[in-house]
Chain A
Amino acid sequence: MKKRYWRCFVCNDVHYGVAPPEVCPTCQVVNAYIEITAEEARKFLGGGPDITFTPVDFRQAVERFTAGNEFVVNPDQEKVETLLQGIFENEKNHGFKYCPCRLFTKNWEEDLKLVCPCNFKIHETYRGVENGECWCGLFVRRR
């Protein structure tokens, strides 16, 4: 199923997926999404508020992401610091928070799979592995 872009006509929330959310998570309006082009989505996303999302913010975001999940952020602080530095360097230099332990291919669809957090649960370093971790080691299986 092909993913498409959707925009809430009330608050301009942008959603990328097969179908839009029934309720807008930002303004709570029901059935508010209309399909838009990728170009229009980029304009809305680029024209949003100038929010500085720091490595500290990202660290907090991934901590929240792991809450209640079967994985946690790696307790090795030095490793995490190195990875966060790489993730933000990659965003600055290449536009996305690419995994510092993989190289983007210039194939857009393939490269979306490298944006942190990636879908590491399907990787051989995690799936079915007792002490599994994502390829870079930012996330490790909860013990």
Chain B
Amino acid sequence: MARLLMFHGRECPHCKKMMPIVERLEQETGLRFEKHEIWHDEKNQDLMRSFQPVIAPKCGGQLRVPTFLNVDTNDAICGEVDSDKLKAWAEKK
């Protein structure tokens, strides 16, 4: 199974909205997202920055949240996405 990461911010409304969608998707499909809060955890900040070359080109040149990252395929999407789109992205080989 691919290693999937979700970067989110505690005070980011889009992240708050996505969290239950992600959790439901996890329950329904068995997919797992490693969740990393980036504004209150320095290690998570460094982790997200380490993927800047992958994330930024897909996210308006910036490190935006929420960001979903597939470490195995080096692919990322960011922002609010519906469950079907996230599932299709996560299952993409």
- Interface residues of A, Cβ cutoff 8 Å to B: 78-79, 82-83, 85-87, 89-90, 93, 100-103, 105-106, 113-114, 123-125, 135-137
- B62 and A102 form a contact (CB under 8 A): yes
Q: What are 27 contact pairs spanning A and B, CB under 8 A?
A: A83-B11, A86-B9, A86-B12, A86-B39, A89-B10, A89-B39, A90-B39, A93-B39, A93-B40, A100-B10, A100-B11, A101-B12, A101-B13, A101-B64, A102-B63, A103-B7, A103-B39, A103-B45, A103-B63, A105-B49, A106-B49, A114-B62, A125-B79, A135-B60, A135-B64, A137-B13, A137-B14
**Bound-complex Cα distance A90 to B64 (A):** 15
Report the minimum CB–CB distance from A112 to chain B (whole Å). Answer: 13
Given the known inter-chain contacts A93-B40, A103-B38, A106-B49, please indicate yes or no for A82 contacting B60, CB distance below 8 A: no
Please tell me which one of the listed residues B11, B38, B65 contacts residue A82 in the complex, with CB atoms under 8 A apart.
B11
Residues of B within 8 A of A136 (CB): 12-14
Alpha-carbon gap, A90 to B39, bound state (A): 7
Question: Chain B residues in contact with chain A, CB under 8 A?
Answer: 7, 9-16, 38-40, 45, 48-49, 52, 60, 62-65, 79
Report the Cα distance A100→B64, complex, angstroms.
9
Nearest residue (CB) in A for B59 is A102
Instruction: Say yes or no: A86-B11 contact (C-beta < 8 A), given A103-B39, A105-B49, A105-B52.
Output: yes
CB B61 to nearest CB in A, in angstroms, measures 9
- Cβ of B39: which chain A residues have Cβ within 8 Å of it? 86, 89-90, 93, 100, 103
B65 lies within 8 A of A103 (CB)? yes
Task: Determine the distance from Cα of A125 to Cα of B38 in the docked complex, in whole angstroms.
Answer: 22
A5 to B52, CA, bound (A): 31
Minimal Cβ-Cβ distance residue in A for B80 = A137
Contact A89 B48, beta carbon cutoff 8 Å: no
A103 pairs with B49, CB closer than 8 A: yes
Q: Is the CB of B9 within 8 A of A100?
A: yes
Smallest Cβ distance from B92 to chain A, in angstroms? 22
CA distance A79 to B11 in the complex (A): 9
CA distance A56 to B39 in the complex (A): 22
Least CB distance, A75 to chain B, in whole angstroms = 13
10 closest cross-chain pairs (CB), A and B: A86-B11, A103-B63, A100-B11, A101-B12, A79-B13, A102-B64, A103-B38, A100-B12, A82-B13, A85-B11
